[in-house]
A and B are shown apart, each in its own frame.
Chain A
Amino acid sequence: MEMISDVYRGFRSLLKGMGVTIRHFFRKPVTVEYPRERAVVSKVQRNAIVLIEKDDIGSHNCIACLQCEKICPSNCISITGSRKDGLAFKRPDTFDLNFALCSECGLCLDVCPTDTLGYSKQYDKAGYSREDFFYDLLDQWKATEETALGTLREIERKKKEEREARRKADAEAKAKAKENDDGDEKA
């Protein structure tokens, strides 16, 4: 008797399960047919790092401080930089990223003092060999480098002139104040 009720309950549970799967049959599929459709990715998705354009310069603002190279736990960034005439900060000559070692931790973005590092929007990069993953971050900025240096020199020059003007104004104000004091004393 118990066996019959067990069989009945078991059979009913199987039918209930099949009902669930049949209901799923009539639902919209959840898959995205890549590459015909592309999934929408989030704005902060982490991919390889790139140098981001800073609006007032028209190029990136890396100053080759090597902070990202020092903090990378996987040693995947190597930068060389040098001082250019007329600029207070260095400018990078080479900026190489070995993306095969990158763990996308985001620490390099945290320490960048000029906030010029960001994530690339390409999430489906592929390669046939290890060398395909050696990225040169300065490649996209080579064409505009001369103009950017010119802009940076302009900005530096303007800053210097403003500093000079302010110093002059401060000195004149001080001299005038001193004259007034002397004048008061005499009077």
Chain B
Amino acid sequence: MAERQFFKATDPQEACDLLAQYGGKARLLAGGTDLMVAVNQRQLSPEVLVYLGDSGLNYINSESDNLVIGAATPFTDIMGSNLVREEAPLLAEVISHIASPAIRNVGTIGGNLANGSPAADSATALLALGASLKLVSKAGDRVVAVEEFFTGPGETTLEPTELIQEVIIPKKAGEAKWAYRKLGKRKAQTLSIVSVAICCPLDGGQCQGTRIALGAVAPTPILASEASALLEGKILSEGLIDESAKAAADASNPIDDVRGSAWYRRRAIEALVRQLLAQISA
């Protein structure tokens, strides 16, 4: 058996070099809240681990029009950041519903995304905020919109030699009206059965570029584009909200699983979108 190897990357460049060297054999380790569960359950036996905890990817910066968050920033730091609370309060709110304090202390935003879960709560927030991700490899970097990042359950557009360097959130999203709700089996330490995040910039009461994001109701976190488009340039009314809520339910493609049935999820999406849009219009 080849010797297992553990590396502590001191910067993203070193992590990229290691990924280039070991290709698909290497796994990135940040908080380990997903990876070590898979190891404990014997679903994963990594040959090479590249630890990102000291790789300089823990930061929250304001850069001209964007809020930029390093991929290895733990949720607790993001949730507690005044910058995030000002520029992207929706993200702080969503994170407060993720798992529990101990998990948020080490679990990172990049790890949550790279894990590719259809129920990844941070993804729902980032979709609604119109965020994008900077991916880097030894070959260079690229920026992808969050809606193009997820390709299936547990699958993303990340190449085996690539890592997420940072999350880029447009600051103007901070001025928009927003609302969020997650339904789980219990209040804390729970995976979403359904989650909805809505970001709704209002111009003189008219919706301009609303983004309605749905979690845990399709193979990936998704944007309900039609449900959003229906609202464009209009003032939220009861009839319009109803129409949008139905379109959101139509955009979903849920499954039956241990947490809830497809039937329930479709109905819950409609109810949540209706409730959240009403909250925004109030």
Q: Do the two shown chains form a genuine complex with each other?
A: no
Which residues in A have some Cβ–Cβ distance to B below 8 Å? Answer: none
* Chain B residues packing against A (C-beta within 8 Å): none
